[in-house]
Amino acid sequence: MAKTVKNWEKWQFEYRHGAFFIFPPNGVIEFVDELRRRFDPKSAGYCQAHISLSEPLNGPLSDEQLAELKDALSRVQPFEIRYGPLRSFPPYPGVCCAIAPEKELFVLRETIHSTSMFAGHPLTRKDRAPHMTIAEFITAERTAGLLKELQGKVPEGMFQCGSIEYAVPNDEFYFERVLTIPIGTK
Protein backbone atom coordinates (compact mmCIF):
# COMPACT_ATOMS: atom_id res chain seq x y z
CA MET A 1 0.00 0.00 0.00
CA ALA A 2 1.39 3.42 -0.96
CA LYS A 3 2.12 5.87 1.81
CA THR A 4 -0.05 8.99 1.82
CA VAL A 5 2.13 11.97 2.61
CA LYS A 6 1.61 15.69 2.79
CA ASN A 7 4.24 18.33 2.23
CA TRP A 8 7.23 16.02 1.97
CA GLU A 9 10.24 17.54 0.25
CA LYS A 10 11.47 15.69 -2.84
CA TRP A 11 14.55 14.23 -1.08
CA GLN A 12 12.40 12.73 1.68
CA PHE A 13 10.60 10.26 -0.62
CA GLU A 14 13.81 8.22 -0.89
CA TYR A 15 13.32 7.34 2.80
CA ARG A 16 9.64 6.34 2.61
CA HIS A 17 10.46 2.66 3.32
CA GLY A 18 12.82 3.45 6.18
CA ALA A 19 16.41 2.58 7.02
CA PHE A 20 18.50 0.96 9.75
CA PHE A 21 19.91 2.89 12.71
CA ILE A 22 21.45 2.66 16.14
CA PHE A 23 19.55 4.74 18.70
CA PRO A 24 21.51 5.47 21.86
CA PRO A 25 20.03 4.17 25.11
CA ASN A 26 18.15 6.11 27.76
CA GLY A 27 20.59 8.21 29.69
CA VAL A 28 22.35 9.23 26.46
CA ILE A 29 19.59 9.94 23.96
CA GLU A 30 17.89 12.58 26.13
CA PHE A 31 20.80 15.03 26.23
CA VAL A 32 21.54 14.63 22.51
CA ASP A 33 17.84 15.11 21.68
CA GLU A 34 17.79 18.27 23.81
CA LEU A 35 20.83 19.64 21.93
CA ARG A 36 19.13 18.80 18.63
CA ARG A 37 15.91 20.58 19.65
CA ARG A 38 17.87 23.60 20.82
CA PHE A 39 20.35 23.99 17.97
CA ASP A 40 18.60 22.35 14.99
CA PRO A 41 14.84 21.97 15.53
CA LYS A 42 14.37 21.02 11.87
CA SER A 43 16.61 17.95 12.20
CA ALA A 44 15.14 17.11 15.62
CA GLY A 45 11.70 17.20 13.98
CA TYR A 46 12.69 14.32 11.69
CA CYS A 47 14.19 11.79 14.10
CA GLN A 48 15.56 11.18 17.58
CA ALA A 49 19.32 11.15 18.06
CA HIS A 50 20.75 8.25 16.08
CA ILE A 51 23.68 6.75 14.19
CA SER A 52 22.73 6.03 10.58
CA LEU A 53 23.70 2.56 9.38
CA SER A 54 22.14 1.98 5.98
CA GLU A 55 20.94 3.41 2.77
CA PRO A 56 17.18 3.91 2.60
CA LEU A 57 15.30 0.73 1.64
CA ASN A 58 13.94 0.46 -1.91
CA GLY A 59 10.70 -1.15 -0.74
CA PRO A 60 8.95 -2.41 2.37
CA LEU A 61 10.97 -4.86 4.45
CA SER A 62 9.76 -8.38 3.66
CA ASP A 63 9.75 -11.38 6.00
CA GLU A 64 12.38 -13.07 3.80
CA GLN A 65 14.65 -10.01 3.88
CA LEU A 66 14.26 -9.75 7.64
CA ALA A 67 15.20 -13.42 8.10
CA GLU A 68 18.26 -12.94 5.87
CA LEU A 69 19.28 -9.81 7.81
CA LYS A 70 18.86 -11.53 11.18
CA ASP A 71 21.04 -14.40 9.98
CA ALA A 72 23.75 -12.01 8.74
CA LEU A 73 23.65 -9.97 11.96
CA SER A 74 23.95 -13.12 14.09
CA ARG A 75 27.60 -13.28 12.98
CA VAL A 76 28.39 -9.73 14.17
CA GLN A 77 29.44 -9.55 17.80
CA PRO A 78 28.03 -6.86 20.11
CA PHE A 79 30.50 -4.08 20.88
CA GLU A 80 30.85 -0.87 22.85
CA ILE A 81 30.24 2.48 21.12
CA ARG A 82 32.11 5.59 22.22
CA TYR A 83 30.47 8.95 21.58
CA GLY A 84 32.23 12.30 21.60
CA PRO A 85 34.01 14.59 21.31
CA LEU A 86 32.13 17.08 19.16
CA ARG A 87 33.31 17.51 15.59
CA SER A 88 32.32 18.74 12.16
CA PHE A 89 32.98 17.41 8.66
CA PRO A 90 34.37 20.33 6.61
CA PRO A 91 33.44 21.51 4.06
CA TYR A 92 29.92 20.51 5.16
CA PRO A 93 28.38 22.64 7.91
CA GLY A 94 27.10 20.90 11.01
CA VAL A 95 28.05 19.66 14.46
CA CYS A 96 27.97 16.06 15.65
CA CYS A 97 29.35 13.67 18.23
CA ALA A 98 32.18 11.58 16.87
CA ILE A 99 31.40 7.86 17.05
CA ALA A 100 33.92 5.03 17.48
CA PRO A 101 35.09 2.37 16.90
CA GLU A 102 34.76 3.00 13.20
CA LYS A 103 35.99 -0.47 12.22
CA GLU A 104 33.15 -2.27 14.02
CA LEU A 105 30.57 0.20 12.75
CA PHE A 106 31.78 -0.20 9.17
CA VAL A 107 31.59 -4.00 9.55
CA LEU A 108 28.02 -3.65 10.84
CA ARG A 109 27.11 -1.33 7.94
CA GLU A 110 28.76 -3.66 5.42
CA THR A 111 26.90 -6.66 6.88
CA ILE A 112 23.56 -4.89 6.47
CA HIS A 113 24.40 -3.81 2.92
CA SER A 114 25.56 -7.34 1.97
CA THR A 115 21.98 -8.63 2.15
CA SER A 116 19.76 -9.00 -0.90
CA MET A 117 17.58 -6.00 0.03
CA PHE A 118 20.49 -3.78 -1.05
CA ALA A 119 21.55 -5.79 -4.13
CA GLY A 120 22.00 -3.45 -7.08
CA HIS A 121 21.33 -0.46 -4.82
CA PRO A 122 23.95 2.33 -5.05
CA LEU A 123 25.65 2.63 -1.67
CA THR A 124 26.32 6.37 -1.65
CA ARG A 125 26.58 6.64 2.16
CA LYS A 126 28.63 3.51 2.91
CA ASP A 127 31.91 5.38 3.53
CA ARG A 128 30.52 8.21 5.69
CA ALA A 129 32.20 8.40 9.05
CA PRO A 130 29.90 7.24 11.84
CA HIS A 131 28.47 10.18 13.77
CA MET A 132 25.51 11.33 15.84
CA THR A 133 24.20 14.63 14.48
CA ILE A 134 23.43 17.54 16.77
CA ALA A 135 22.93 20.23 14.11
CA GLU A 136 23.05 19.88 10.33
CA PHE A 137 20.77 22.55 8.92
CA ILE A 138 23.09 25.41 9.91
CA THR A 139 25.68 27.66 8.24
CA ALA A 140 29.45 27.22 8.28
CA GLU A 141 29.69 30.26 10.56
CA ARG A 142 27.14 28.80 12.98
CA THR A 143 29.07 25.50 12.90
CA ALA A 144 32.27 27.22 14.08
CA GLY A 145 30.40 29.18 16.73
CA LEU A 146 28.53 26.16 18.02
CA LEU A 147 31.68 24.04 18.27
CA LYS A 148 33.28 26.82 20.34
CA GLU A 149 30.15 27.37 22.48
CA LEU A 150 29.72 23.69 23.31
CA GLN A 151 33.41 22.82 23.75
CA GLY A 152 33.78 20.88 27.01
CA LYS A 153 30.05 21.13 27.80
CA VAL A 154 28.77 18.02 26.03
CA PRO A 155 29.33 14.71 27.84
CA GLU A 156 31.29 11.93 26.21
CA GLY A 157 30.84 8.28 27.05
CA MET A 158 30.09 4.73 25.97
CA PHE A 159 27.16 2.42 25.51
CA GLN A 160 26.71 -1.19 24.43
CA CYS A 161 25.58 -1.92 20.88
CA GLY A 162 23.70 -5.22 20.93
CA SER A 163 21.07 -4.43 18.31
CA ILE A 164 20.07 -2.21 15.42
CA GLU A 165 16.67 -0.68 14.73
CA TYR A 166 14.53 -0.36 11.65
CA ALA A 167 12.75 3.00 11.57
CA VAL A 168 10.24 4.34 9.04
CA PRO A 169 9.00 7.92 8.66
CA ASN A 170 5.35 8.60 9.43
CA ASP A 171 3.18 10.91 7.31
CA GLU A 172 4.80 13.98 8.92
CA PHE A 173 8.27 12.56 8.10
CA TYR A 174 9.22 11.69 11.67
CA PHE A 175 11.09 8.40 11.92
CA GLU A 176 9.35 5.91 14.18
CA ARG A 177 11.11 2.81 15.47
CA VAL A 178 9.39 -0.24 14.02
CA LEU A 179 11.66 -3.16 14.85
CA THR A 180 14.69 -3.95 17.03
CA ILE A 181 17.02 -6.59 15.59
CA PRO A 182 19.67 -8.13 17.85
CA ILE A 183 23.24 -8.69 16.71
CA GLY A 184 25.40 -11.65 17.69
CA THR A 185 22.48 -14.02 18.37
CA LYS A 186 20.56 -16.61 16.34
2 within domain boundaries: no
Q: How confident is the model at residue 5 (pLDDT cuts 50, 70, 90)?
A: low
Predicted confidence (pLDDT) at residue 81 exceeds the cutoff of 80: yes
Domain-located, residue 136: yes
Quote the percentage of the chain above a pLDDT of 70.
96
Q: Is residue 4 part of a domain?
A: no
Mean pLDDT of 19-41: 96
Would you state the pLDDT for residue 4? 54
CATH number at residue 160: 3.90.1140.10
Q: Cα separations (Å) of 165 from 39, 120, 162?
A: 25, 23, 10
> Residue 1: pLDDT above 70?
no
> Considering the chain, what is the average pLDDT of its residues?
93
CB 177 within 8 A of CB 65: no
Question: pLDDT band at 2, cuts 50/70/90?
Answer: very low
Quote the number of domains for the chain. Answer: 1
Domain housing 102: 26-182
Q: Give the mean pLDDT of 163-176.
A: 96
pLDDT at 165 exceeding the cut of 90? yes
Inside any domain, residue 19: no
Q: Are 48 and 59 in contact (CB under 8 A)?
A: no
Is 152 among the domain residues? yes
Tell whether 20 is covered by a domain. no
Q: Looking at the predicted structure, is the pLDDT value of residue 46 above 90?
A: yes
Average pLDDT over residues 161-165: 97
Q: Is the pLDDT of residue 20 over 60?
A: yes
Does the CA dihedral 123-130-180-183 come out positive or negative?
A: positive
Query: Between the CA of residue 5 and those of 84, 118, 138, 174, 186, what are the distances in Å?
Result: 36, 24, 26, 12, 37
In a domain, 9, yes or no: no
pLDDT at 186: 67
Report if residue 163 sits inside a domain. yes
**Which pLDDT value is given to residue 122?**
82
